């Protein structure tokens, strides 16, 4: 038997052949604990089950999403995972403003993750699976001390909103949190 949660969409990213969606539970007035709907696939990526009933639109950042879930499905440090009920379409329940989320900010001490692994595209932008599994959390909502956004797109695309950018648009965010610099 499924249960429902309404979450504020705070992440909708590419994952293998699908997507990874996560957010904080919403009680109608405030955000609560993290929730990440996952599929029964080996890596938990979502496909069409994340699209809204009737509109078939993909969730956007700050959408309120009603999701039917089957049971908690933690995996390593991802204790917020819940197995999605694919027989029930997701429902769009409105949107929140960024200011509504200020009380929901997480306040982790020190760096957000173990720094030191980097790719050619960034600085401290990679965490090995072994290191990730040892972390106390997999998701945080923070207000960075400093942040710079770098868009590497053609001029005719610059007017598009960030949450509507094509998946192939290069976007890098450099930020500082608790004196740790990350790109």
Residue 133 is classified by DSSP as H
Residue that finishes a domain, picked among 85, 103, 121: 103
Per DSSP, 134 falls in state T
Residue numbers of the domain that contains 24: 3-103
Pairing label, strands 31-38, 81-84: parallel
pLDDT tens for the chain, residues 1 to 183:
899 999 999 999 888 888 999 999 999 988 999 999 999 998 889 987 667 777 778 899 999 999 999 999 998 889 999 999 999 999 999 999 999 999 999 988 877 777 778 887 777 778 888 888 888 888 999 888 888 887 765 444 444 554 454 455 567 777 777 766 665
End residue of a domain, out of 44, 75, 103: 103
Kindly list the strands in the beta sheet with 146-151, ordered across the sheet, starting from the edge strand earlier in the chain: 146-151, 171-177, 180-182
Cα(144)–Cα(176) distance, integer angstroms: 6
Domain boundary residue, one of 103, 120, 155: 103
Rg (CA), the chain: 17
């Amino acid at each position: 038997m499924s249960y429902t949660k309404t979450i504020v969409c705070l992440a909708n990213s590419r994952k293998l052949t699908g997507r990874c969606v996560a957010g904080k539970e919403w009680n109608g007035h405030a955000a609560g604990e993290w929730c990440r709907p996952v599929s029964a696939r080996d890596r938990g990526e979502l496909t069409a089950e994340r699209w809204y009933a009737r509109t078939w639109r993909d969730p956007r950042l700050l959408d309120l999403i009603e999701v039917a879930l089957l049971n908690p499905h933690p995996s390593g440090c991802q204790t917020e995972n819940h197995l999605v009920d694919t027989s029930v379409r997701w429902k769009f329940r409105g949107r929140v403003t960024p200011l509504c989320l200020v009380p929901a900010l997480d306040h982790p001490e020190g760096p957000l993750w173990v720094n030191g692994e980097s790719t050619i595209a960034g600085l401290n932008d990679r965490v090995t699976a072994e290191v990730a599994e040892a972390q106390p959390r997999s998701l945080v909502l923070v207000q960075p001390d400093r942040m710079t956004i770098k868009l590497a797109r053609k001029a005719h695309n610059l007017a598009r909103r960030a949450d509507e950018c094509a998946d192939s648009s290069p976007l890098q965010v450099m930020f500082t949190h608790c004196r740790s610099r990350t790109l």
